[in-house]
Structure 1
């Protein structure tokens, strides 16, 4: 992997998430080149023009409308292409439609590279991460989804609001499906190293009326729906999560993030892509971290895997 001052990223999809990701990466100074690919070439051209007009305020870089040939020397390919769920549509319909799109995109990518890291952000992200691997037999260590990185950030934010502390001092994970069956790892959640239950017991805040775990998890699960209901799409949060994952890859950080990847027996789950704590590096998936969950958390995680398997069976 090249120095982080000389990295090329290809973004496939110039919609809300793709264009905002390009803007976020441009501001970050992480990359030297961004190629933006979209079936709507005029849309891609407009986004690239707008972004290029910012370059006198940022670190030097190249931003251009790309083609699949740009994948040939890319370090990272970010997938944001595909429609979101529409009114009256179902998750199953979306999974089937976007899995077909993902398969066609992967077939184009492997004409030019099998070395680039693939980061999937299109929903349903766990299903599409698995489709990206299996459709063209891509190295599963080089394919990861944005998973529950954003969900975990939402979880930490809500706990920080409840406990009146900086979100950066709250540590906790949302695991499993990026969706309705995701699991809060309450047993691993801590504030500044203190287990959440201990912290709450010693808080002595008159304003606190107890921790509503179910309510907080429901807010995390439904956050995207609430945002979409109010502003059509969610893109700031996911693009920032993508930037964080990109940073871990391009800087070879070995950071632990809840990205989605194909599990092979970890947590008792096999041949299913889902989110668990993972060491992310320039290799992509460096290592799955198996943490000690409670029996109930393990049961819920396997149940989440079963739900994903049902969707896979449907689209296959």
Structure 2
């Protein structure tokens, strides 16, 4: 069996998202080797060369374009390949196009008896993670998606702006689907241990807290559409999210992140992939974390799961 090199990452897909992830990971210093793979090998070669030229300003690293034969010893494979989301198109409208693309990618990985971690970034990430799980046969702790890590960062950023505090002091999650049915779990949100509403009463001096929170949650949900409308694609935010997830894995940080992973019965949800808080470390999605949710939030997450299950039923994954 090929020994896994935890300091090697493979990125499959060198479009806007894949190349931004490669750039962010080069700067991170987490890896000593990175292989870029794309159906357009010239594109992969160009990205590898361009990013490599910045290495004198970063840390020593081997960056090159390659083939599936180069993935066998990678600690992490990040899959960003797929059709991009067009203006006005929902993430779920990408489903069938990208499932077909995964049907050509995942078997190539399986053929090499890969034993590392598959980090799915392609949209719609929940469905694509489920697809990768079914096609790869790998354990669910080793196959998970970037989920709502970016949505959660957007929520923290907007709450920080609203409250006038450092976004890193805001603790809150977006849960469920990475998409239109996602849920802002405000019932457990806090600012350095202070309940969100109490902090807002002190900092904002407004009696319209509920309306402000609904507006912020809606802004988070619409963020990607707004960015796509203005510049055609989103890639910097997700690249930083991928870097954060990789950091938790490579440094075995046991970080609690809302990654997209297989649900196994908690909150009445199973056999579907969506985002809930998980401890992320060197073994991948190591275990789930129970957080306080209102009954309304629980029902909303269950509705999100039911919607995703309905999509899964339309896929031919057997």
Q: Output the TM-score relative to the length of structure 2.
A: 0.94
Aligned to 1:173: 173
Say whether 1:108 aligns with 2:108. Answer: yes
Give, in whole Å, the separation in 2 of the partners of 1:243 and 1:63.
Answer: 16
Q: Is the 8 A contact 2:15 2:81 kept in 1?
A: yes
Aligned to 2:187: 187
Trace 1:94-133 onto structure 2 (pairs within 5 A). 94-133=94-133
Is the partner of 2:244 in helix, strand or coil? helix
Trace 1:1-316 onto structure 2 (pairs within 5 A). 7-86=7-86, 91-203=91-203, 205=204, 208=206, 210-211=208-209, 212-316=212-316
Is the partner of 1:202 in helix, strand or coil? helix
Give, in whole Å, the separation in 2 of the partners of 1:86 and 1:149.
Answer: 22
Give, in whole Å, the separation in 2 of the partners of 1:91 and 1:195.
Answer: 33
Is the partner of 2:111 in helix, strand or coil? coil
Q: 305-314 or 236-245, which moves further after superposition?
A: 305-314
Aligned length: 312
State the Cα RMSD in Å: 1.6
Is the partner of 2:151 in helix, strand or coil? helix
CA distances 1:203-242 after superposition (whole Å, capped 9, x unpaired): 3x45x56331211111000100000111111000000000
Q: Output the TM-score relative to the length of structure 1.
A: 0.95
Give, in whole Å, the separation in 2 of the partners of 1:192 and 1:298.
Answer: 24
TM-aligned CA distance change 1:266 to 1:15, over 3 Å: same
TM-aligned CA distance change 1:241 to 1:91, over 3 Å: closer
Q: Is the 8 A contact 2:73 2:114 kept in 1?
A: no
Q: Is the 8 A contact 1:279 1:287 kept in 2?
A: yes
TM-aligned CA distance change 1:115 to 1:294, over 3 Å: same
Q: Is the 8 A contact 2:187 2:293 kept in 1?
A: yes
Give, in whole Å, the separation in 2 of the partners of 1:15 and 1:29.
Answer: 22
Once the two structures are TM-superposed, the CA of residue 202 in structure 1 deviates from its matched residue by: 2.7
Q: Is the 8 A contact 1:259 1:278 kept in 2?
A: yes
Q: Is the 8 A contact 1:71 1:116 kept in 2?
A: no
Is the partner of 1:75 in helix, strand or coil? strand
Q: Is the 8 A contact 1:71 1:113 kept in 2?
A: no
Unaligned runs of 5+ residues in structure 1 are none
Is the partner of 1:277 in helix, strand or coil? strand
